[in-house]
Amino acid sequence: MSKLVIVGTVAFDAIETPFGKTDKILGGAATFIGLSASQFNVDSAIVSVVGGDFPQEYLDLLSEKNIDISGIEIIKDGKTFFWSGRYHNDMNSRDTLATELNVLADFNPVVPQDYKDAEIVMLGNLHPIVQSSVLDQMTKKPKLAILDTMNFWMDSALEDLHNVIKRVDVITINDEEARQLTGEYSLVVAARKIHEMGPKYVVIKKGEHGALLFHNDSVFYAPALPLEEVFDPTGAGDTFAGGFAGYLAKTGDVSFENMKNAVIYGSTLASFCVEKFGTERMENLPKKEVHQRLQQFKDLTQFDIELT
Amino acid sequence: MSKLVIVGTVAFDAIETPFGKTDKILGGAATFIGLSASQFNVDSAIVSVVGGDFPQEYLDLLSEKNIDISGIEIIKDGKTFFWSGRYHNDMNSRDTLATELNVLADFNPVVPQDYKDAEIVMLGNLHPIVQSSVLDQMTKKPKLAILDTMNFWMDSALEDLHNVIKRVDVITINDEEARQLTGEYSLVVAARKIHEMGPKYVVIKKGEHGALLFHNDSVFYAPALPLEEVFDPTGAGDTFAGGFAGYLAKTGDVSFENMKNAVIYGSTLASFCVEKFGTERMENLPKKEVHQRLQQFKDLTQFDIELT
């Protein structure tokens, strides 16, 4: 088993969907990634920052999942990063109602000593300079560095983003962001251009339409499970990334063949995440249910045509 | 092997895409369905109507594919159905520039005597009364009746459409049409409502996002092959339906398990159709290329997670 270090936000979210709304609840990219990866009982740590207003019970929740939280800095007189958004009826688009950076504005990540030799590094969505700083602190080159990002950094810090993209092995990005980053509509062409930027593996997330994994001229596709109802999409992409990174950390095998399984696990875990508000579904997700849903993914995708 | 009877348009299309434009070329739902099904060397017939302006070489092309054309009525002093459209840059939407029904306005389909006992009936997109008329002419209940339709008939002939839907085993429909027909956004819920209208099998086509096959509580997903470039989407849905029907006719096995293979064949053949204008790619498509692409679909979708 490999060690996994996760950098990303640990935050408050307030969410409105057609099904209801929440007060400030637990959120943040690193939270979703960590909870998802914890399904694999890996040795993981979160590097993040919160304010003095962040409840101890949320930190305890992460600790109980065997996530090392010594890298989560607590700024006593600061406030935790807060995001609020409202989803439209189709659940595929949303309006951001509030973004309060708070303690995140001056975040200086410090990787705990025990995790500076982690084999897998998962760089959750954050300023690319913060992501680079985590890579700088690793005492040996990770077996696999995975980067998630979003259009916000393409608009505001493109050069920094390119600098970190060229240092990672895998990038996870959604379809519209892949198009924005490359100026190409075809995802096949976009993936090739992103390869040329550095990452040997490119994962393009298409929400309800699944995810594509590109590696050189090979491509693998993981569908999203067709669901009766998406209750709250918040964190689905991070949960996908956490499942992907967690499975690779558990198996220690970063081959393309094994990454296929990793994206299937990512899709599987994301399909749970959207069933309830925020992290609720992921906080207590029995392994048995995950296995049942993996079987559903097999039934959904596996066929047996003899090529004669 | 089962006999396959296909009803649908045989037509002229004029197409504009970002890559170029055509004069009047061979088109029509039954044409694409027939060419696609001919990959399986099945015993098939097209029931349709054309005008005196329809070139003999197009009829010869269909005959050479071993498609019985005795059910294609030729109205000497009439003009062939004509459709013209322009695709937008994303290739997912289009404007219809012209629709000239011509001989199609009074089309009275006549199933050739030899095909009145066909085991598989493929009702291509046409007025639902015409589709019903074909079912009326069958001397024994087909093993499988498949219906394709579109939003135009939901707007203009909904009651007739419901009358034919309740008589078929399989419906193929795109995602937006499934939503319109049922008033449900979730495709899982929409499929259940369509089941309740009659069809035991519901295929929802999502274009570049693949196709879903629903049967009771089971669902199977066939992705679309990620392509560098979609040159012309015209006929892709019909080519999908033709591959689906052709494979089922060839194997004679209409079980859900075998329908999984049928939708994979449908997706595979549709992935060729979009590579050139109109029917061009389908007119001379070597079996070897089809098999190579089926292997690509396997590589794209098959994984091997042990459920422990």
Let me know how long chain B is: 308
Distance CA(A157)–CA(A179), nearest Å, equals: 17
Of the pLDDT bands very low, low, confident and very high (cuts 50, 70, 90), residue B189 is very high
Distance CA(A187)–CA(A202), nearest Å, equals: 10
Determine, for residues A212 and B206 on separate chains, whether the beta-carbon distance falls below 8 Å. no
Beta strands in chain A (DSSP E): 3-7, 11-17, 20-21, 25-27, 43-51, 67-68, 72-75, 82-87, 94-100, 120-123, 144-148, 170-174, 201-205, 211-215, 218-222
| Residue A307 CB burial class (10 angstroms; 0-12, 13-18, ≥19) | exposed
What confidence tens digit (pLDDT) does each residue in A19-48 have?
Answer: 899 999 999 999 999 999 999 999 999 999
C-alpha dihedral over A242, B305, A306, B41, to 10 degrees?
A: -30
Helix (H, G, I), strand (E, B) or coil at A266: helix
Q: Is B168 left (phi over 0), alpha (psi -120 to 50) or beta?
A: beta
What confidence tens digit (pLDDT) does each residue in B99-112 have?
Answer: 999 999 999 999 99
- Interface probe for A, chosen from B90, B205, B301, B308 (most Cβ of A below 10 Å), is B301
Active site members of A: 238
Distance CA(A120)–CA(A126), nearest Å, equals: 18
The answer to whether B110 touches B46, Cβ cutoff 8 Å, is no
Distance CA(A118)–CA(B151), nearest Å, equals: 55
- Interface probe for B, chosen from A212, A301, A308 (most Cβ of B below 10 Å), is A301
* Beta-bridge mates of residue B13: B25, B83
Residue labelled with tokens 């393009």: A204
B180: pLDDT strictly greater than 80 = yes
Instruction: Report chain B's mean pLDDT, rounded to a whole number.
Output: 96
A307: pLDDT strictly greater than 80 = no
Instruction: Report chain A's mean pLDDT, rounded to a whole number.
Output: 96
pLDDT of residue B306: 79
Among A219, A226, A307, beta carbon nearest to B188: A226
Cα separation values, A300 from A37, B171, B196, B206, B255, Å: 24, 19, 22, 16, 16
Query: How many Cβ pairs within 8 Å bridge chains A and B?
Result: 88
Q: pTM (2 decimals)?
A: 0.94
* Beta-bridge mates of residue A72: A48
What confidence tens digit (pLDDT) does each residue in A47-105 have?
Answer: 999 999 999 999 999 999 999 999 999 999 999 999 999 999 877 789 999 999 999 99
A146: pLDDT strictly greater than 90 = yes
Rg (CA), chain A: 18
Distance from CA of B304 to the nearest CA of A (A): 7
Among B90, B186, B218, beta carbon nearest to A299: B218
Residue labelled with tokens 């293979």: B261
pLDDT of residue A90: 77
What lies within 8 Å, CB to CB, of A217 at 6+ separation is none
B307: pLDDT strictly greater than 80 = no
Question: Under an 8 Å CB criterion, which residues of A touch B?
Answer: 89-90, 185-189, 206, 209-210, 212, 218-221, 223, 226-229, 260-261, 264-265, 291, 294-295, 298-305, 307
| Residue in B with minimal Cα distance to A224 | B221
Cα separation values, A255 from A282, B249, B271, Å: 27, 40, 28
What confidence tens digit (pLDDT) does each residue in B32-57 have?
Answer: 999 999 999 999 999 999 999 999 99
Percent of chain A with pLDDT over 90: 94
| Residue B188 CB burial class (10 angstroms; 0-12, 13-18, ≥19) | middle
The answer to whether A199 touches A211, Cβ cutoff 8 Å, is no
The angle at the Cα of B19, spanning B17 to B22, to the nearest 5 degrees, equals 60
Which 8-state DSSP code applies to residue A103?
A: G
A308: pLDDT strictly greater than 70 = no
A281: amino acid identity, one letter: R
What confidence tens digit (pLDDT) does each residue in B128-145 have?
Answer: 999 999 999 999 999 999
B263: pLDDT strictly greater than 90 = yes
Distance CA(A143)–CA(A3), nearest Å, equals: 10
Beta strands in A41-169 (DSSP E): 43-51, 67-68, 72-75, 82-87, 94-100, 120-123, 144-148
pLDDT of residue A93: 84
Active site members of B: 238
- Interface probe for B, chosen from A221, A225, A298 (most Cβ of B below 10 Å), is A221
Closest CA to A40 of A303, A291, A302: A291
Chain B environment of A265 (Cβ under 8 Å): 305
- Secondary structure in 3-state letters for chain B: CCEEEEECCCEEEEEEECCEECCCEEECHHHHHHHHHHHHCCEEEEEEEEECCCCHHHHHHHHHCCEECCCEEEECCCCCCEEEEEECCCCCCEEEEEEECHHHHHCCCCCCHHHCCCCEEEECCCCHHHHHHHHHHCCCCCCEEEEECCHHHHHHCHHHHHHHHCCCCEEEEEHHHHHHHHCCCCHHHHHHHHHHHCCCEEEEECHHHCEEEEECCEEEEECCCCCCCCCCCCCHHHHHHHHHHHHHHHHCCCCHHHHHHHHHHHHHHHHHHCCCCCCHHHHCCCHHHHHHHHHHHHHHHCCCCCCC
Distance CA(B85)–CA(A259), nearest Å, equals: 42
Which 8-state DSSP code applies to residue A114?
A: G
B308: pLDDT strictly greater than 70 = no
Cα separation values, B4 from B32, B67, B264, Å: 14, 10, 19
Cα separation values, A128 from A1, A109, A147, A150, A178, Å: 28, 12, 9, 10, 16
Chain B environment of A262 (Cβ under 8 Å): none
Distance CA(A77)–CA(A211), nearest Å, equals: 41
What confidence tens digit (pLDDT) does each residue in A192-226 have?
Answer: 999 999 999 999 999 999 999 999 999 999 999 99
- The token duo for B33 is 């369905």
Among A220, A264, A302, beta carbon nearest to B300: A220
What confidence tens digit (pLDDT) does each residue in A277-294 have?
Answer: 999 999 999 999 999 999
Closest CA to A34 of A25, A43, A26, A46: A46
Closest CA to A281 of A26, A10, A6, A1: A26
Determine, for residues B212 and A226 on separate chains, whether the beta-carbon distance falls below 8 Å. yes
Determine, for residues B221 and A301 on separate chains, whether the beta-carbon distance falls below 8 Å. yes
The answer to whether B119 touches B2, Cβ cutoff 8 Å, is yes
pLDDT of residue A92: 76
Of the pLDDT bands very low, low, confident and very high (cuts 50, 70, 90), residue A229 is confident
